[in-house]
A and B are shown apart, each in its own frame.
Chain A
Amino acid sequence: MLSDWGAVFLFFVAAVIFSAGGVVTGFVLAPRRTTAQKVTTYECGVDTIGPTWVQFRTSYFLYALLFLIFDVETIYLYPWAVKFQSLGLFAFIEMIIFLFILIIGLWYAWKEGALEWM
């Protein structure tokens, strides 16, 4: 028997083949006449100034940190939600406490201005 994850693997391989096929078709069918102007970086016709790969603003980093915290929380919440009906009141109250701690975290981030776009 083919296991679920074997089938998932097949899907991944086929999807890559399909999309790679699409791009390769483009390379095969389309003409390639490269000129010096054509391959310059497109920035509305103005020559690009300075390097692109520079350090970026930190607000993005703060959102990433917050996301990490809440994403891990979600991973814990899913198994709990599946077993919610059979676990009883105790698990529900425990989860409320867990959520409460996270909400305090969100409130703290909010208070410190991490959610403001500066």
Chain B
Amino acid sequence: MGENIFVDFTAWLRGLISGLGVPDLFNDIILMIVKLAAIIVFIALNATWLVYMERKICAYIQSRVGPRHHGPVGLLQPVFDVVKLMTKEIVLPKNVDLVVFLLAPVLIVVPPIVAYSVLPFGKDMVAIDMNIGLFFLVAVTSLSTIMFWMAGWASNNKYSLVGGMRVVAQMVSYELPLVLAMLGVVMITGTLNLSEVVNAQKNVWFIFAQPIAFLIYFIAGVAETNRPPFDLVEGESEIIAGPYTEYAGMGFAMFYGLAEFANMMVISAMCTVMFLGGWLAPFGLTFIPSWVWFFLKMYLVIFIFMWVRWTFPRIRVDQLMGFGWKVLVPLSLANIFITGTGMYIYRAIGW
């Protein structure tokens, strides 16, 4: 029921286009553009409504009601937000490095969108079934550090500069535990193709096989998306808004609305694929389509992200760096060692 609608639609579209006598290459390109448009719309819609979700969850955690005036329970609030942001003046301060200043908000959205190209949304639902998907995804997502730094440097504002420095230090430090935590999973599956990683979790999800790796991944993921308690980058009470202090209107919307939530979606989708069994249905509930499961699991992880955000206070910068380098990096190296040894012991026992 609904399981194959996207796959069937793609096959139907391919048949339709090749029926018109279009060569295979162009057919592939047209289909890829369709998938691409679907992914961009998916990201844009989700990011706008995640802002709403964030505000609503924040409100309930703080015993408020949150947005409620536009549409039922305030569901149309994001539409008004987008319209407002679009019609806000983009201020170009006089001392900025104009080219870099304008390039940063444009490029910041690129890594999450490209990262989504290799993520499997459901059974056979992946835009590019790449054999080194995981590695590609890690490489692409780490690019956003540069864009944050571009914004921080080009703004010619001391708060932005401090924010930019902190972004680089933080994202670079937490990149390592994030990547090393995934290694445990790669050792078990022996593949970097994300669809095969999901398939390898048929019997047991890797959150049970790799609990330490999951914890490290989750903590490093929160830090990678610059969200509280690791939000020193944009700590409002310290450095206003960090790298995006000088941005207004759509420039700000690109950073805060789109990029932050799109990055969060990539991190949680990745978490789903690596540790929560991706689109596999738990308890044999296969009558619900695989892409719905993917979506539900992704939103569960996002919910935990938001819960963490509104529960924990911000930590200090020395605690941040100390925790990353003195706790998470050694722990993730130990996890690799334990995984390797454990697999040899399992093999010796004969499992």
Q: Which residues of A are in contact with B by a Cβ distance under 8 Å? A: 1-2, 4, 7-8, 10-12, 14-16, 18-20, 22-23, 25-27, 29-34, 38-44, 48, 52-53, 56, 60, 63-64, 66-67, 70-71, 74, 77-78, 81-86, 89, 92, 95-96, 99, 102-103, 106, 110, 115-117
Contact = CB atoms under 8 A, between A and B. Distances in A.
A52 B191 contact: no
Interface stretch (B5-13, B51-59, B304-312, B317-325): B317-325
B117 A106 contact: no
Interface bracket on B = 35 or more
Contacts of B136: 8
Nearest to B44: A18
A66 B106 CA distance: 30
Contacts of A116: 318, 322
Contacts of A92: 340, 344
Given A43-B158, A67-B176, A85-B343, A18 B135 contact: no
Contact of A85 (B25, B128, B190, B318): B190
A83 B186 CA distance: 9
Given A16-B106, A19-B107, A33 B89 contact: yes
B157 A70 contact: no
B344 to A, nearest CB: 7
Interface in B308-340: 317-318, 321-322, 325-326, 329-330, 333, 336-337, 340
B191 A82 contact: yes
Contact of B192 (A18, A82, A110): A82
Contacts of A20: 106
A70 B281 CA distance: 37
B254 interface: yes
A68 to B, nearest CB: 9
B87 interface: yes
Contact of B128 (A7, A78, A110, A115): A7
Given A8-B117, A44-B240, A85-B190, A67 B109 contact: no
B209 interface: no
Contacts of A70: 176, 329
A30 B333 contact: no
22 contacts: A1-B25, A7-B117, A11-B114, A14-B36, A16-B106, A19-B105, A22-B109, A22-B258, A29-B86, A30-B87, A32-B89, A42-B93, A52-B95, A52-B158, A53-B156, A66-B325, A70-B329, A77-B183, A82-B190, A85-B190, A89-B344, A95-B340
Contacts of A64: 168, 172
A82 B186 contact: yes
Contact of B107 (A1, A16, A26, A78): A16
A2 B28 contact: yes
B162 to A, nearest CB: 9
B79 interface: no
Given A42-B246, A44-B240, 8 more contacts: A8-B130, A11-B36, A23-B254, A30-B89, A42-B157, A63-B321, A81-B336, A84-B190
B317 A117 contact: yes
Nearest to A107: B330
B274 interface: no
A52 B157 contact: yes
Contacts of A42: 93, 157, 159, 240, 245-246
Interface in B75-97: 85-95
A11 B24 CA distance: 19
Contact of A30 (B153, B191, B249): B249
Nearest to B192: A82
A23 B93 contact: no
B114 A15 contact: yes
A14 B113 CA distance: 9
A15 B158 contact: no
B169 interface: yes
B29 A41 contact: no
A26 B110 contact: no
B322 A48 contact: no
Contacts of B113: 11, 14-15, 18
